[in-house]
A = this chain, B = another copy of it.
Amino acid sequence: MKHLSLKSPSLKEKLLEHSIRPTAQRLAIADFVLQKGRHSTAEMVQEHLKKFFPHISLATIYNTLNLFSKKGLLKEYRFPHSGHVFFDNNTQPHAHFLDENSQEIYDVPMEKVNISLKNDSFEIQDVEVLFKGTLTNKGGQSG
């Protein structure tokens, strides 16, 4: 347990600010999904928490991820390469890049994306953009 920053005031306060009671399980999940993993699935959370909470229930993980999403700490995404729901701790508008080699998802800041639509049939409220391809020597980026 000593390896987990469960007592991190900022994390605990972050949950409280969002009216989420900071239980031990929720802090452990928050530590991973909000600070470590960028695009976490329930499975990834479970795998990561194994050493701290070997008996944590998948239901708790799903409950918590869904709660965090409802409270605005995470945003849900589905990507074409996987049946899993991904929980992204970047809740600001941004695009994604899927590396077809590693199946890894990277964030692409909207400043780098230029998108427009000639249209008179619908009112756009949101756009989801997924670039697919392969990483070059420079490596991925995020944020």
Contact = CB atoms under 8 A, between A and B. Distances in A.
B117 A126 contact: no
Nearest to A138: B121
Interface residues of A, number: 42
Contact of A132 (B76, B125, B134, B139): B125
B117 A123 contact: no
Contacts of A111: 118
A119 interface: yes
A83 B112 CA distance: 30
B118 A112 contact: yes
Contacts of A141: 121
A78 to B, nearest CB: 5
Interface of A: 76-80, 83, 95, 97, 99-100, 106, 108, 111-136, 138-141
